[in-house]
Structure 1
Amino acid sequence: MKVLITGVNGFVGGYLFSRLKTLDHKIYGLGMEPSSPYNLDEYYSVDITKKFQLNQEFDAIIHLAALNRTTIGADIDSHIFHQINVEGTRNLIESCGFSKFIYISTAAVYARDDEVITEESPIAPMGNYAKTKYEAELLCQKLIPHKKLIILRPVNISGAGQRNIAAVPLFFERALNHEALELSVAPSKTIQLLDVDDFAKAIIQCLECSGSGIYNLAPEDSMTMLQLVTKILTLCGSKSSLILKVDKEEAPSVICAGKAGLKINFQASKSMNQILENYYESRKRGTKG
């Protein structure tokens, strides 16, 4: 199978490349960097915000490339989010032929008014990242035949090698340095983590299945933000102070991946405690990925 991974040089892209390569697929990569550290069958150095042509036909495209800033760096101009996440997706779709297109969106597109969130729950994205990811979903549905399109809405992906632009590695960095941790959301806010290996397995399931559709990707368990930060502080034996910036209660709300379990045989293998413990061990070993 000829598979194109956009954003191949990123945290998730690297994991996905290594898993797919063991299955003897021909792996093509696309990124903004001049070259890739991975042994790809071909690499395209492309700025997706500008129109381009790949002159290739792929069995599958896995579209990971995106500007992903939620709270850290969230003050980036909305125009830049739109150019990368929406127009970049349009340019990719128009650049080549493909039999299957797997678009990686986010569970942040949902309103969080219900205790259990399914694919049928109301949509109400907040912030530039979630808004443009949902706009790109709609664009994919407009430009790509339904039978060719899979949209995945994962919760927070986490694992060894993740940079400090994501909440979990940033919390660990500050805890290990005994620096103050600021919690800028309600302590009772629900958070779910998906191990990067479990995410890669879900992608492989999508490549092997013949169906299409929209699927949430999430573990069965969850934590409150206060429980998450407390767990990290305990693991690190940290003397960091915890500063609570928001003083309010938030009702529990969890993303359900039951549909993905039925349709693409997805099941998260690692609990949130295991993800955090494994990440801590990787930091102690100095693991980069």
Structure 2
Amino acid sequence: MNVLVTGINGFVGGYLFSRLRSAGHKIYGLGREPSSLYDLDGYYTVDITKKFQLDREFDAVIHLAALNRTTIGADIDSRIFSRINVEGTKNLIESCGYSRFIYISTAAVYAREGKLITEESPVVPVGNYAETKYEAELLCQSLIPCKKLMILRPVNISGAGQKKIAVVPLFFDRARNHEALELSVSPSKIIQLLDVTDFTMAISQCLDFFCSGIFNLAPQDCMTMLQLVNKILKLCDSKSSLVIKEVKEEAPSLVCAEKARQRLSFQALKTMNNILEDYYESLNGGTE
């Protein structure tokens, strides 16, 4: 297949390139940078916030590129989120031809009501990131024929090489430096992590078992935020203090990926303990 990947130079992009290359696909990348580190079959330097046209059609477009800030940098002007996540998606949709379009959204669009979250659960996005990702979902549904469109809603992606704006690398960085860790959410709040290699496996399976619609992507296990922090502190043998700013109890809300398991043969291979232990090893010269 000829596959276009936006955001190819980002954290997930490199893992996805390796996965798709090993599967024999021809890979074209799109990014803001003047070039890419990867041995692509073609690369486009594009600012997706402006209208553009590409010179070929693709079997599949995988839209990874987005402004993703849910903690550090979450106070960025909402108009910037909209330009990148919504207008950028519209410009991409209109820039080329494709047989299928895979939009990477987020499980953050769902309401957290203490229930099992399926693809039919209420959508109540909160914050600039979730709001604009859902707005882009609706845009995709209005502009792309449903038989061509797949929307993926993963939980928190994690893995070696991730920037320190996500919760796992941020907490590891502070724990290794014995700095205070602040929990701005309830210690009982449930978190689910999806390893980046499992995430890219799911995207690859979308190309093999393509079917339209919305799919959650999540592991079968979870942790509370307190368990997550304690695991990181233990791995790092850290003397960091823990500052808890929110003590309200929260009923667990688990994202269920049963539909993806049945329709895409997807099942996350790494547990949350695996993810945290592998990340720790990567910081100490292990897997990169």
Q: TM-score, normalised by structure 2?
A: 0.99
Equivalence for 1:261: 261
Measured against aligned partners, the alpha-carbon deviations of 1:21-51 in whole angstroms (never above 9, x if no partner) come to 1122110000011110000011101000000
Equivalent-residue separation in structure 1 for 2:54 and 2:165 (angstroms): 31
Kindly indicate whether residue 179 of structure 2 is the aligned counterpart of residue 185 of structure 1. no
CA-based RMSD: 0.8
3-state SS of the aligned residue for 1:5?
strand
Pairing of 1:124-273 with structure 2 (within 5 A)? 124-273=124-273
Equivalent-residue separation in structure 1 for 2:33 and 2:78 (angstroms): 23
In structure 2, what residue type is equivalent to 1:16?
L
Equivalent-residue separation in structure 2 for 1:118 and 1:25 (angstroms): 31
Measured against aligned partners, the alpha-carbon deviations of 1:135-170 in whole angstroms (never above 9, x if no partner) come to 000000000000100000000000111110111000
Equivalent-residue separation in structure 1 for 2:183 and 2:47 (angstroms): 35
Equivalence for 1:80: 80
3-state SS of the aligned residue for 2:284?
helix
What are the ranges of 5 or more consecutive residues in structure 1 without an aligned counterpart?
none
Runs of 4+ in structure 1 over 4 Å off: none
Equivalent-residue separation in structure 2 for 1:125 and 1:88 (angstroms): 19
Equivalence for 2:23: 23
Equivalent-residue separation in structure 2 for 1:62 and 1:176 (angstroms): 35
In structure 2, what residue type is equivalent to 1:163?
K
Equivalence for 2:68: 68
Question: In the comparison of the two structures, how many residue pairs are matched?
Answer: 288
Equivalence for 2:6: 6
Equivalent-residue separation in structure 2 for 1:83 and 1:46 (angstroms): 14
Q: TM-score, normalised by structure 1?
A: 0.98
In structure 2, what residue type is equivalent to 1:24?
G
User: How many angstroms does 1:247 deviate by?
Assistant: 1.8
What are the ranges of 5 or more consecutive residues in structure 2 without an aligned counterpart?
none
3-state SS of the aligned residue for 1:16?
helix
Pairing of 1:90-129 with structure 2 (within 5 A)? 90-129=90-129
User: How many angstroms does 1:9 deviate by?
Assistant: 0.2
Equivalent-residue separation in structure 2 for 1:203 and 1:102 (angstroms): 8
Measured against aligned partners, the alpha-carbon deviations of 1:86-115 in whole angstroms (never above 9, x if no partner) come to 000000000000001000000000001032
User: How many angstroms does 1:245 deviate by?
Assistant: 1.0
User: How many angstroms does 1:253 deviate by?
Assistant: 0.7
